[in-house]
Structure 1
Amino acid sequence: MQALPVIGITMGDPASIGPEIAIKALLEQEIYNQCKPLLVGDAAVFQHIIDQLQLPATINVIKHVSEAKFTLGKIDVYDLGMTNIADLKFGEISAECGEASFQAVKKVIELALDGQLDATVTGPINKKSINEAGHHYAGHTEIYAHYTNTKKYAMLLVEDKMKVIHVSTHVSLRQACDNVKKERIVQVTELLRNGMIQLGETNLKIGIAGLNPHAGDSGLFGTEEATDIQPAVDELLAAGYDVEGPVPPDTMFAKAATGYYGGVVAMYHDQGHIPFKLAGFKWNAEKGQMDSVKGVNITMGLPIIRTSVDHGTAFEIAGKGIASHDAMVLAIESAVKLSRYKKANTW
């Protein structure tokens, strides 16, 4: 057990499915075979979920990582005591829940920077709730970048054969187009390749998407491919990267899903997220719910490891016991892989 990495997992928004999927994931024996997991957030919220859903677990409340037992069925919770259970309403936006979820994220960052955690995993937060609490961030990625003083970072999505990094994420579409610059494309491609290696990917061929329909079609539908994307591809090829592009995105992602590319570069948020979620999210129309939600969000470029579920708070099903914890399990497993690589390559 001494060799297993210690993984801190945030509860996410207390009114979301975050606490539920965290508890469910830590009821899997395989998680304890791979790591030493502990939850960071409010013990009262996790206990409320256990009681409401009648889950086979108890809580070990701790105030220091050294107090954790890492025992299946007796879940360690680094308690911040932020949430008043009497006021908690599942599925509702609130400043109180925003504050609780934000403080959990801030705490795992502090613990990881202090060397008490080998990696961090985040549950889903509600951006409006954290902003109502006075924390004006677009999401987890920006919070981590701020508190680790990181300037060069990017969002990497991982699910089976699909690995997608983004030139830009939480900005308007207009700004996203303006952000398609050669320097940024080179930077995120370098981060993608590093992430692929750290995750054990052997196929290092990278597809780089065009921005415009048909990748601009020789300038008929836009010039960004000629002015910035192709020059980035040329620079990467000269540096020894196995890259291809600019590739029309409607064909690039079809090829990526088969494993032709080990990873791909998307120019903006929805260009990457839509095909990624089509691959990993399985909707059951008859039941009116997701059968499976798979996908991991990794922030590349940080001095600490951060993975996350790649889905939202799912307020509409919070507290009902039907949330899939597949993505949380995958996020924890990815954090373990990254921590092992980091340990093996740190002297």
Structure 2
Amino acid sequence: MTQRPTLALTMGDPVGIGPEITVRTLLENTEALSARGVVVGDPVTVRRALAVCGLDAEVRVLNSWDLPDAREGVVDCLDIAVLGETELPWGTVDRRAGQAAVRAIEVATRAALDRHVAGIVTGPINKEAIWAAGSEHLGHTEMLGALTGAKDQSTMFVVRGKKIFFATRHLSLREALNRVSVPQQTESIDAALTALRVFGHDHPRLAVAAINPHGGENGAFGDEEIVHLEPAVRAARDRGVNVVGPVPADSVFHQLLADDRYDGVLSQYHDQGHIAAKTFDFNGTISVTVGLPILRTSVDHGTAFDIAGQGVADPETMRSAFRHGAEFAPFADRIRAAYPAG
């Protein structure tokens, strides 16, 4: 039997839904798990999550990555020793919760860099809480970049095997449009093609989404396609790569997700790609950070403080992130080679 890869799971904010969806992922439908999961966090948080979910399991506390054999009905937890036995109120912004979330990310990332684990799977964090704990990062992606020395990390959505990339992300729509240029499009195309190759597409097919309605209608509805997108696509094709576009955004995601014309689409701004993926399969859409020297998959939803601690959170996105972590684990060496640590 082929040995299963080991993945480190961070629960995100310990008073959000992350702990619940983490324990459900590891304990429900265990026969389908294609990787071994080790939780990185405080054991008190794992025990509380088990209790609110009504799950009966042993929490085995670990203090190193010298792992014992996996056992059915046991959740292994690498203790980060932040909260001790303190039980924080569910669903509230708390500096101590932010501190625990940040520490878990740091420990899991170090484990991946040191090859103790094949990759990390991250639960949702609360930005206010990590900022209250002293973090200066906007979120996971920026934090992981700093921890690994990566300078050009970006997001790749995965939905039913297809990939969506983003030329811009956390910007206003106006600012995103201001960033559009031939060099920016060329860099984004190259980054998307590299990621597709790293994650198993040896001969990638990429489509570039248009910005304006109907792709601009030859300049009638905007000229970004003519001035910036078309030259970048043409230059890429001249290098012999399989890139098409700009394709109107009301068609390109259907062609990706339903018609199987492409392996990936380069979305021009945050919501253009997010809306398409999450409408098609909200719970099945997960995030992979590309550009890091480690594998990182993640849920793409928040902490849901309003339902935290009730045991009702849907774990499907965390399960999908875990499954994709297992699926992508064989690419760990490719990831290191393509995106060396800084």
Alignment TM-score > 0.5, same fold? yes
**Equivalent residues in 2 for 1:111-126, closer than 5 Å:** 111-126=111-126
Picking from 321, 324, 333, the partner of 2:314 is 324
For residues 1-347 of structure 1, what are the structure 2 equivalents within 5 Å?
3-27=3-27, 28-30=29-31, 32=33, 34-83=34-83, 86-160=86-160, 162-201=162-201, 204-258=204-258, 259-281=260-282, 293-343=283-333
In the superposition, relative to structure 1, how do residues 346 and 134 fare at CA in structure 2: closer, same or farther (>3 Å)? closer
Percent identity between the aligned chains?
33
Which residue of structure 2 lines up, in the alignment, with residue 288 of structure 1? none
SS state at 1:75 partner: strand
> 1:71: how far off?
2.2
CA offsets 1:97-136 (integer angstroms, 9 cap, x no match) = 1121111111111111122121111111112221222212
SS at match of 1:315: coil
Counterpart secondary structure, 1:152: coil
* Cross-structure match for 1:290: none
Residue pair 2:219, 2:226 contacting (<8 A) in 1 also: yes
C-alpha distance in 2, partners of 1:345/1:324? 30
The CA distance in 2 between the partners of 1:183 and 1:90, in whole Å, is 46
CA–CA distance in structure 2, aligned partners of residues 273 and 159 of structure 1: 11
Residues 228, 126 of structure 1: alpha-carbon distance in 2 compared, 3 angstrom cutoff: same
1:48-80 deviation per Cα after TM superposition (whole angstroms, max 9, x unaligned):
111232202111101111134322311111111
- Please give the alpha-carbon distance, in whole angstroms, between the structure 2 residues aligned to 1:264 and 1:7: 28
The alignment's TM-score, normalised by the length of structure 2, stands at 0.90
Name the Cα RMSD after superposition. Answer: 2.3
Matched-pair contact (CA < 8 Å) for 2:294–2:335:
no
TM-score (normalizing by structure 1): 0.89
Structure 2: runs of 5+ lacking an equivalent:
338-342
For residues 116 and 242 of structure 1, the distance between their equivalents in structure 2, rounded to whole angstroms, comes to 37
- What is the total number of aligned residue pairs between the two structures? 335
Contact 2:162/2:264 (<8 A) preserved: yes
Q: CA deviation at 1:83?
A: 2.8
Q: Shift of residue 18 of structure 1? A: 0.6
Distance 1:62 1:23 in 2: 16
Cα separation, 1, equivalents of 2:232 and 2:160:
27
Aligned partners of 1:253 and 1:143: how far apart in 2?
30
How far apart, in 2, do the equivalents of 1:343 and 1:149 lie? 17
